[in-house]
Every structure is written in structure tokens, then in C-alpha cells.
Amino acid sequence: SRHFCFLSCDFGSGQCPPSSNMFKHVSRVARPVFRRRGVSFIAPVRSEAPKQLAVAVTLGVTGTAAWFLRSQDAQCEALPAETYHKYWPRKIMMLFGAPGAGKGTQGEKITAELGIPQLSTGDMLRAAVAAGTPVGMKAKAVMAAGGLVSDDIMIALIADRIKEPDCSNGFILDGFPRTLEQTRALDAMLAESGECVSLILAFEVDAGVLEERICGRWMDKASGRSYHVKFRPPQSMELGTDGQPIPETMRDDETKAALYQRSDDTAQALKKRLQSYNDSTVPILDHYRSRGIVKVIDGGAEMSQVTNTVLAALPSK
């Protein structure tokens, strides 16, 4: 059978070409076709701000083609996010948020709800090095020489990781991409298998709230457990006459080990981190906004309210 591109939707507006113009449209968007889970896909347009996505269907006879043309107009009335979910079964998500925005906590909620893993670049890098994979060995050599792991290596790490069985229904990227260049490289890698990012959750929190969250945080080094002087104080905490916690009384609830504060969990350090985050993240979100897949979450609300908003934004299982 032959393969034609019959559907090319503009996700920025949710509009599709009418069926009367369909064959004219085919030649303009013809690109390589990829297959996934019984549906064939045409490679997404590679541009700085891609707005079009073409879906290819396999047709054997003219009658089938005619039926498709008559029905495609109605199918294209779906909202952009619904269209993405319809044609891209694997849920590929990103979480963005400044330090203290709560994306780690909410990522755990999403994992529990959808059954897809939350992937951090640090964990992937350590696992690849420990497993001695070819990409892991490249990264190890770079780090041993005191260099920074390149974008190409990071993309290769992600490409290997998302082939694992636990990613078969999707995955959540946390902490990547960090630059527009990484974003484009990630898009290109996903497009090779006819896929794309399907949902981005951007957690927005006022700077004052972030400062309260970050500067009141205490950590247990061995377990990574996190405490907060206001929101989750350790059982041992005692306050001094100035209303601040006495450091010697800050101990882990389970092991009784002394807690510590990270050196960058200060108001001054947070200001620099926020500036860096905003400078790098805004271009990435702008890159994806035209696709209709960016959802802004008020991360300053009560935790239960934030969770409800996040779960409501998720695609159905």
C-alpha cells in the first residue's frame, strides 16, 4: 500500500485545512513517515517554533481514502492538546519551576497517577556510568578530564533511558532541557521516532514565597529527607529567643542524625538562581507555547490545591 499525508494541523490555532484542499496540502508537507503502535506518523516540521504536525495514514484502496477525506474535517475540531494526545499515545511531559516551586513533590504525584517515571539528568548520568554503557563511558571520560558533559551526550543518555520498559507509556523530564539549544536537540531526537513533547507544566511561585520555602529548608544528608522550619519541622526542633531554630536541635526524625542547610539555600543565592532560571526557561516555554501544550500552575497555592490542579491538567490514562 502507499502512504499519504492527509492531516496537517496547526496546533497554534487548532485549525486544519479543509478536505477540498487536502491533496494540494499533501505535496507541501510531505516528509518521512514513522510508525508507532499501529499508527503511522509523518515527521514533525523542524523549525524554530514548529506549529504543524502531519499525521500519515496507511490506505490501501481509493474508497478508504475518500472516507478519510470526508471525515477528517470533524476530527480536526479537537483542541490542540486533545489532538496531541490522540495521535501520540506515549505521554512525554516536562516540569519547569524555580527552586522551591514544588515540582519534585508534584512529579511524584504524577508518577503515581499515570504510572510513568520521573527522569532527572543526574540520575540518568550516574546510572549510565555505573552500568558502563557506551554513552556512560563517554560521559565518565569527560568528567574525569574535568569537562562538562556535552548536549550530545545528554541527549544520547535520554534516548537510551526512554527505551526502557518503564517508559513504554511515557515519562517525565525534570531538569532538562535547560537551554534552547538542548530543547531543539531533544525535539529532533523525539521526532526521529515520530514523537514530541505532549505536555509541559510550568510552576509559578512568587519570589517571597520561594525565599520562605528555600531558606527554611533543612536536609538529612544520608537519606535526602527534607524538613522545613514552618511546613515540616523535625520533631526535635527548638526555637531560640529570636524565633529561629537552634541548629543543635535540628535532627532527623528517624535516625536522629544532625540536619544541615545547603550553602545555596540563602536569600542572596536564591536571587541569583532565580535570575538564571528565568533567563533560561522563558525561551524554552516560548518555544512550546505555540503548540498549545504549556500549562501554568499556581505553585504558591496550598499543596492539596496544587495537586488537584496538576491532576486535572493530565491527559487521561
Residue 103 annotated among the catalytic residues of the structure: yes
Query: How many domains in the chain?
Result: 2
Residue with cell 529548608: 217
Q: d(Cα 145, Cα 99) in Å, to the nearest integer? A: 29
- Per the prediction, the chain carries an average pLDDT of 78
**Do 76 and 116 share a domain, yes or no?**
no
Tell me, what's the pLDDT at 85?
52
In a domain, 275, yes or no: no
CA atoms within 13 Å, Cβ hemisphere of 110? 31
**Do 106 and 173 share a domain, yes or no?**
yes
Q: How far is CA 139 from the centre of its chain?
A: 23
**Do 97 and 14 share a domain, yes or no?**
no
In a domain, 117, yes or no: yes
**Do 167 and 201 share a domain, yes or no?**
yes
- The CA-based angle 294-163-6, given to 5 degrees, is 60
Residue 46 annotated among the catalytic residues of the structure: no
Per-residue pLDDT of 18-48, as tens digits, reads 444 444 344 344 444 444 444 444 444 444 4
- The catalytically annotated residue of 103, 184, 251, 291 is 103
Tell me, what's the pLDDT at 226?
87
Section 238-243 average pLDDT: 92
Q: At what angle do helices 121-131 and 151-161 cross, to 10 degrees?
A: 80
Global pTM reads: 0.66
Residue 251 annotated among the catalytic residues of the structure: no
Domain that holds residue 49: 2-87
**Do 61 and 197 share a domain, yes or no?**
no
Q: Residue type at 9?
A: C
**CATH code of the domain containing 191:** 3.40.50.300
Residue 217 annotated among the catalytic residues of the structure: yes
**Do 67 and 199 share a domain, yes or no?**
no
The residue that leads in pLDDT, 3 or 88, is 88
**At residue 86, does pLDDT exceed 60?**
no
**Pick from 59, 111, 96: which is nearest to 287 by CA?**
96
In a domain, 273, yes or no: no
The residue that leads in pLDDT, 13 or 158, is 158
**Do 196 and 106 share a domain, yes or no?**
yes
Tell me, what's the pLDDT at 3?
38
**Do 96 and 200 share a domain, yes or no?**
yes
Residue 273 annotated among the catalytic residues of the structure: yes
**Do 153 and 296 share a domain, yes or no?**
yes
Of 94-98, 163-167, 222-226, 248-252, minimum mean pLDDT range: 222-226
Q: d(Cα 185, Cα 46) in Å, to the nearest integer? A: 11
**Do 31 and 56 share a domain, yes or no?**
yes
Backbone angles phi, psi at 18, to 5 degrees: -65, 155
Please list the alpha-helical segments (H only) found in 132-266: 134-144, 151-161, 180-191, 207-215
**Do 159 and 50 share a domain, yes or no?**
no
In a domain, 256, yes or no: no
End-to-end CA distance of the chain: 32
Per-residue pLDDT of 116-165, as tens digits, reads 999 988 889 999 999 999 999 999 999 999 999 999 999 999 999 999 99
Q: What 3-state DSSP class applies to 152?
A: helix
Confidence of residue 222 (pLDDT cuts 50, 70, 90): confident
Tell me, what's the pLDDT at 217?
92
Q: What are 254's three cell numbers?
A: 528517624
